[in-house]
Amino acid sequence: MNAQPPVVTGWRCSACETRVSISQVFSWRCPNSSQTDRHHVLEIENAIAPLRSTGDANPFVAFQRYLAWDAFAANLGLEFESRTKIIRDLDDAVAKVAGTGFRTTPFLRNDELSKSLHFTEQGGVWIKDETHNVAGSQKARHLFAQLLHLIAVEHVGRAPWRSQSERPQLAIASCGNAAIAASTLARAVNWPIQVFVPEYSDAATIKILNSLNANTVRCARVATDPPGDPCVYRFREAISSGAIPFGVQGPENAWCLDGGRTIGWEMAVVAEDLDGALFSRMFVQAGGGAFATCAANGFFAGATKPKVHAVQTEGCAPLARAFLIAQKTGGARNAGSRWSQCMWPWETTPSSIADGILDDETYDWIGACNAMVDSGGWPVVASEAQVHESFELAHRVTNVDVSPTGAAGLAGLLAIRQEIADDERVIIIFSGVRRQ
C-alpha cells in the first residue's frame, strides 16, 4: 500500500459543480462561496476500491493513502515517508496535551444493549465508542486533517506568515465537543484560537477551554442578526478579519470532511472481517451534518451500505425537514442547487438535553442526504423522551460514560425499533464523553 499513489483527485462543489485542484493551498471553500452566500460545499472526489488498512494503530497512518491531505501533501512535493512523519510528529504533540493520540477505537457488539432491545443472537447492536478518542469525541478526527494541512504548508515554506509567532488565529463556532477538540489540537502546536460558543454553554466546557488557553467568546442571539446561529455569525466575522476557519462545518472548511472519514473506514474494515454478516442500519446523530456525512462515506468505501439514519431531536430537526422537501422538489440526492428551497435555520430556539446537535442549520445536509438516499435510509427525529431514555439506557447497560448528545444515535434506534427486525445488525456511534 505504501508504494501506491494517493487516491484523491480533487474537490467538487455540491451546489455549483465548480472544481478545485487538490494541490490548492488553503482550499477551505468553493471559490463561489462569499460572505453573503455560503450555500456551497466542496466534496472530495476519489475512487477507493478496495479499502485496505495497513494495520497501524493510528487511523491517519493506517488509511493514509485515502486521505485528501495525503494527496495534497504529495502535490506539495513531500515524499510518502515525510508525509507519514508529519502525521506521527503531530500525533505525538497532540498526545502530550490530550493524554492520548489518535488510535483505532472499539467497534463491538454490545450484548447487554442488544438483549435489552430484544435482538436475537444473529442480530444486535454494535457500538463504535469514540468517547476515548482525542478530546472525548470524534470531532478531533475532522479537525486533524485541517491541522495537517496547515502544518504541511508551513513545512514547505508556503505559509504567508513568516514565523510561528505571526500565525493568524484559528477560529471555530461550537457548542462543546468540537470547541474542546479544536482547542486541544491548537494547544498541541501552540496556535492561538478563538472559540465562539453559545450563551448557554455549561461551566464544565468553559473550564476545559480556559485550561487549553482558548480565547472563548459567548455569543448571545442578537435581534439585528439574520435567523441562525449567532456563534456562526461571529465566527464568520472573525474569518473576514483574517482568522483561519478551524471547525466542523463543510461550507466553512471542507477539509473537515476528510479526516472524519477515518471513523467509517475503521468500521468498514471490521465489517469485512465478519464472514459476510451484513449490517443493515447505521444511526448517526446529526447537528451540523459533517459527522453523518463522513461516517457514511467512510463506511461506504467497504463492501456494504447499511441504511443510514441521521438522527435529530424534535427540538431542532432542520435536516429531516430538508430531506422531505428535497424529496418533493426533485429528489433528495444532489439537491445542492436547491439549497435555499430546502435548508434554512430552525425557526424556534433549539432545545434538547442533547445540546451538541442543536445546530440551527444542518450545514452539511447535502452529504448527509446523499448518504441516506444511496443507502435507502432516511432521517429519524427522536422525541425528547427518547433522548432521555437513550442516555439512561446507555449508562444502565453499557460501560460507556457517554453524554446525552453522544447517545443520541441510540435515541434514533429507539424511535424506529418497531420497524427493525430482531435479527438485524445495527450500528450506533457513542461520540461525546459526559462532562461533569
Measured between alpha carbons, how far is 313 from 108 in angstroms, rounded to an integer? 26
pLDDT digits (tens, 9 = 90+) for 323-378: 999 999 999 999 999 999 999 999 999 999 999 999 999 999 999 999 999 999 99
Tell whether the model's pLDDT for residue 254 goes beyond 70: yes
Please tell me whether residues 220 and 71 are part of one structural domain.
yes
The verdict on 274 and 222 lying in the same domain is no
Q: Look at residue 273 and tell me whether its pLDDT is greater than 90.
A: no
Residues 285 and 242 both lie in one domain: no
Show which of 209, 230, 256 is a domain's final residue: 256
Q: Which residues span the domain enclosing 191?
A: 8-98+139-256
Residue 2 has pLDDT above 80, yes or no: no
Whether residue 91 is contained in a domain is answered as yes
Section 144-152 average pLDDT: 98
Whether 66 is covered by a domain: the verdict is yes
192 pLDDT above the threshold of 90:
yes
Residue 3 falls inside a structural domain: no
Q: Summarize the confidence of residues 231-240 as an average pLDDT.
A: 96
Q: Are residues 277 and 399 in the same domain?
A: yes
Domain count, the chain: 2
Q: Is residue 223's pLDDT more than 90?
A: no
Span 311-334, average pLDDT: 98
Residue 322 within a domain: yes
Q: How many CB atoms lie within 10 A of CB 27?
A: 20
Q: What mean pLDDT comes out for the span 377-395? A: 98
Residues 278 and 397 in one domain: yes
The answer to whether position 75 is within a domain reads yes
Question: Which pLDDT score, from 0 to 100, does residue 276 have?
Answer: 59
The answer to whether residue 121 scores a pLDDT higher than 70 is yes
**CATH number for the domain including 352?**
3.40.50.1100
Note whether residue 35 is domain-resident: yes
pLDDT value for 324: 98
Degrees (nearest 5) of the Cα angle 173, 176, 179? 50
Domain boundary pick from 241, 256, 271: 256
The verdict on 186 and 318 lying in the same domain is no
The residue among 211, 241, 256 that closes a domain is 256
Q: Is the pLDDT of residue 138 over 80?
A: yes
More confident position, 144 or 199 = 144
233 and 339 housed in the same domain: no
Residues 245 and 385 occupy one common structural domain: no
- Check the CA dihedral 149-153-156-161 and report its sign: negative
* 17/147 same-domain check: yes
**Lowest mean per-residue pLDDT among 44-48, 141-145, 371-375, 385-389:** 44-48
- R_g (Cα) of the chain, nearest Å: 20
User: Which of 38-47, 207-216, 221-230, 386-395 has the weakest average pLDDT?
Assistant: 221-230
Residue 218: pLDDT band (50, 70, 90) is very high
Mean pLDDT value of segment 12-21: 97
Mean pLDDT of the 250-277 span: 92
* Arithmetic mean of pLDDT over the chain: 95
**Average pLDDT of span 282-295:** 98
161: left (phi over 0), alpha (psi -120 to 50) or beta: beta
Neighbouring residues of 114: CB distance < 8 A, sequence distance ≥ 6: 123, 124, 125
